[in-house]
Amino acid sequence: MSRGLKELEEKVFKKDLCTACGACLSLCPYLRSWKGRVVKLHDCGLEEGRCFAYCPKTGGDLAGTGEQESTQRDEQLELGPVRKILMARGRDPIWREKAQSGGVVSALIDFALKKKVIDAAILTLREDDFLPKGRIVRNREDILNCAGSSYVSGPTLEALNRGPWNGEERIGVVGLPCQAIALRKMRSSSLEKRTPIDKVGLIIGLFCTWALEYERFHAFLKERLGQLNIQKLEITPPPDRLLKVYTDRQLTMVPVDEIRPFIRKGCQVCLDMTAELSDISAGTVEGIEGWNTVIIRSDQGEALFKEAEKEGMIECQSLPEDHLNHLKEASLLKRRRGMDVLQEIGRPEGGKG
């Protein structure tokens, strides 16, 4: 059976399941990113290709959400492998001002670069036209330029594939759950590697319930706000569930239900809300402004987090039990919904979706 571009087109593109993670881009001359989508330029006759092997939607041993590893190493099946769960924030006010919630992800990347744990990181930059793309960062200024969320998926991992790299860098990546899955698949693939995946020593995952299609969401915002000069986006917790759009002139509130039609179909079959295959996962703490929920999952993640806390780069508190229970419920709910949709459309062969 073919496991190349032809099969990727049949199983992912034609079913509209691509999340534009970027894992297949800048590897193959026949695939390009265009306005938040991956498009095929020409047919390819390879029977087996990295495009298929790396895609988080094509199945395989690591194509689920770490559930098998959780069974072996951790009893908290709702959230995957867990060393510790708490809430944290960057102590420098600049992170809380510029980044999302408590800014702990930006603070950890800044600390990892300063301590030479990594030499570079792959983050997501929101360009002037609101289109996300991957960017290689090496200093605080670059991190600040990438801070914040757009709620739009973008081909972040293309920056890892494209480089340029000198071959010696130690690399960290911040990405969504689908991108964490893709990174693990890239690392475990037996195919020839033309990216520095073996140099990726730190994966920080972002909680994600869904991501939006760029073109339709961009058109919606432009119609609603006119000329776009968006400074920041935030989604408020229940029961309001409003998208807060900050521009240089005003704050606009948009009910989340109005943007749900722009959710990618690929997100509807995703089983992972908390980036279970990362070293550290982070999301907002609903109802507690200025803090992140943090899940420490690996030796690398635990070592970095402890050192950052010890040196005063981040501060921590216990996550209230009701917030932890809600997180588990939300994670299980996304898994169940994804399984239901997978059963409707047909599960990709050989994996968990």
3-state DSSP helix/strand/coil % of the chain, to nearest 5: 35, 20, 45
Query: Above 70 in pLDDT, residue 349?
Result: no
pLDDT in tens, 10-31: 999 999 999 999 999 998 889 9
pLDDT value of position 343: 86
Query: Above 90 in pLDDT, residue 136?
Result: yes
Please count the CA atoms within 13 angstroms of the CA of 173 that sit on its side-chain side. Answer: 31
Q: Domains in the chain and their CATH numbers?
A: 61-213+263-345 (3.40.640), 215-260 (no CATH)
Question: What are the backbone angles phi and psi of residue 113, rounded to the nearest 5°?
Answer: -70, -45
Query: Above 70 in pLDDT, residue 139?
Result: yes
pLDDT value of position 165: 94
pTM: 0.91
Give the pair of three-digit tokens for residue 147. 């801070």
What contacts 61, CB < 8 A, 6 or more positions away? 68, 188, 351
Please count the CA atoms within 13 angstroms of the CA of 258 that sit on its side-chain side. Answer: 14
> Percentage of the chain surpassing pLDDT 70?
92
Q: How high is the mean pLDDT of the chain?
A: 89
The average pLDDT across 106-130 equals 93
For residues 52 and 40, the answer to whether their CB atoms sit within 8 Å is: no
The average pLDDT across 144-152 equals 89
Look at residues 348, 347, 331 and name the one whose alpha carbon lies nearest to residue 66: 331
Long-range contacts for 251-255 (Cβ within 8 Å, ≥24 apart)? 252/224, 252/225, 254/224
Check residues 113 and 345 and name the one with the higher pLDDT.
113
> Percentage of the chain surpassing pLDDT 90?
71
pLDDT in tens, 195-242: 899 999 999 999 999 999 999 999 999 898 886 678 888 888 887 889
The span from the CA of 219 to the CA of 115, in Å, is 42
The span from the CA of 168 to the CA of 299, in Å, is 22
For residues 304 and 206, the answer to whether their CB atoms sit within 8 Å is: no
pLDDT value of position 1: 58
